[in-house]
Amino acid sequence: MATIKNIHLLSVSDNDLKKLEYGAALHKRMSNIEFKVLEVKDDSLVIRVSQGKHLSENYTDKATLVTRTRELFEPFFPGMKIHPQVNPYEPNPVSKIDSSWIKKQMDILGLRVTDIVNDTGVDKTNISAWANGKREMSQPVKAMFYHYFNYMGYRLGK
């Protein structure tokens, strides 16, 4: 299986294909950076470069992704313009939800645990434990709080 998607669109030797694949595999393993050939013209290549979530949390910005794409492809396509279309990693805002975030939102919006209980139907024991950091939150619980506070902020004009 090819590491670079649509690599078959590139006209290079088998040896160069192996070198490109090896370089792309290193980027994939070290930083979860993936490449896809979108368009090949006489004088240019359009390459999509995307970074996904990675355990190392080794994330980079758009400029660095552009640089890494050009460094990987330019040696094999001298004289061609490399046009990276960049999609940097953006963490899901729900992943940052914790008890301190919940307390801050409650303060900002003037809400109490009983308000959340009445609005969501979730029992007070669970809401209180999550808000006080005594119970770990699953991803769906974090999503509930994220969307609940966003809705309440909109509804209350805050």
pLDDT reported for residue 103: 95
Residue 12 and residue 37 share a domain: yes
pLDDT per residue as tens, the chain (158 positions):
579 999 999 999 999 999 999 999 999 999 999 999 999 998 999 999 999 998 888 789 999 999 999 999 999 999 999 999 999 998 888 988 999 999 999 999 999 999 999 999 999 999 999 999 999 999 999 999 999 999 999 988 87
Give the structural domain span for 27. Answer: 7-87
Residues 106 and 80 in one domain: no
Same domain membership, residue 145 and residue 76: no
pLDDT for 1: 57
* 82 close to 69: Cβ distance less than 8 angstroms: yes
Q: Are residues 68 and 30 in the same domain?
A: yes
> Are residues 106 and 78 located together in one domain of the fold?
no
Instruction: Determine if the pTM surpasses 0.75.
Output: no
Q: Where residue 117 sits, what CATH number does that domain have?
A: 1.10.260
Walk across the sheet containing 33-40 and list its strands: 33-40, 44-51, 81-87
My answer on whether 115 and 146 are in the same domain is: yes
Same domain assignment for residues 124 and 152: yes
Q: How many domains does the chain have?
A: 2
The residue among 87, 106, 139 that closes a domain is 87
48 contacts: CB under 8 Å, gap ≥ 6: 35, 36, 38, 84, 85, 87
Assess if residue 118 is contained within a domain: yes
The tokens describing 155, both together, are: 């509804």
Could you say which of 28, 62, 87 is where a domain stops? Answer: 87
